[in-house]
Structures are given as structure tokens and as C-alpha cells.
Amino acid sequence: MQIPTHEPGRSRTPFSELYEAHFDAVLGFVTRRTTDRHLAADLTADVFVAALESFEGYDFRRGTHRVWLYGIARNTLASYVRHAAREREAVATLSGRRLLDDQDVQRFEERIDAEREARGLLARHAVLSEPLRAVIDLVAVDGLTTKEAAKVLRISQATARVRLHRARVALRAERATPSGTFTTPLTEAAR
């Protein structure tokens, strides 16, 4: 009988288990950032396809599965915003929206509805510079600890703490002098 050998840091968990355990977390991450159910389905599928593609390289020393998936989700959504819908249509092959039935559409709507408050927070964070925003989004909106957020963003915990603090100060200042207008953080209208 062959004794399995493992490289240090490599995960032994099958991808299916990771999918089962973190589907809801990824779906939450996505539905906090878009109000379009079809786009949410597409992006959720994209996140898991990207995760599957880089699963071999997963190293638990750089964060738990959830932290790792949030990192991928962040990149997937950022890349979506950068490239816009048109380009995505051209390259995407696993179309999430194709997998939706009526009941799913309803559930997506409920989820999107339930995350209204989180989207409000994200919108408020839009006044911040990107480095500050990235940390406070993950902590205040996605519920990660500062340590986890640091791992997602691949920065040191100290840096994450400083940015979080600066973000909170800036938001308090912003609240004192409301500017009135800010751009919505994500492409809610993009399809």
C-alpha cells in the first residue's frame, strides 16, 4: 500500500468539500456587491471555477479556505469591473445564469434583498481610497477579522490595522461633512 506523501502546506481536503462548506460565504460575498441576480450567478460560478483552477496551489499557511476564497472572489469581481460585461461574455464558458431555475432566481432575489444594508455600507466606503476601502470592506461588510483581511489582501497585520483605523477616522470625518455624492462601489447596473 502506498503511503500518500504531501508537500508541506498543501490541502488534503477535496474541492467538493470546500465547495459545500463555503458556497454560502461566496454567494454572500457576491450578493453584497451586486443587485443583479444573473450577474450574481455568473460571478459565483466564476469564483469557484477560478478557485478550482488554482486549487492545486492552495497553501493553508496563507489563510483558511474561506480567506483564500474571499481573495479569489475579490479578484474575480475586480476583474469583472475592469473588463466590463462585454468582454466577459466573450470568454466565459460556465455561465452561472444558465444554471438558474425559477426557485433559484427567487432565492437570489431574497439574498440580494437581505444584503441591502451591506451594500449601503459598501457605498459609504466608496469615498475612501482603494487601500483603505479594501480592508474596511472585508472587516465591516464581510465579517473577517483584521488578521484574515490581511491575508486576503496579502499585507501585514500591522498594515491592515493601520489602514482600518485610518478608514474609520476618514469615515467619521466624512459623516461630519457629508459630501452628498459618491460613486456606487460596484457595477450594479453592469450586465
The residue ranges that bind other proteins (CB under 8 A) are: 14-16, 19-20, 23-24, 27, 41, 44-45, 48-50, 52-53, 91-94, 96, 98-105, 107-108, 110-111, 114
Of 50 and 81, the one with the shorter C-beta distance to other proteins is 50
123: Cβ–Cβ under 8 A, 6 or more apart, which residues? 182, 184, 185
As measured in angstroms, the least distance from the Cβ of 111 to other proteins is 5
Of 20 and 117, the one with the shorter C-beta distance to other proteins is 20
> In angstroms, rounded to a whole number, what is the distance separating the alpha carbons of residues 144 and 66?
10
Of 103 and 183, the one with the shorter C-beta distance to other proteins is 103
Of 52 and 162, the one with the shorter C-beta distance to other proteins is 52
Positive or negative: CA dihedral 146, 151, 152, 153: positive
As measured in angstroms, the least distance from the Cβ of 41 to other proteins is 6
Residue 108 buriedness (CB in 10 A; 0-12 / 13-18 / 19+): buried
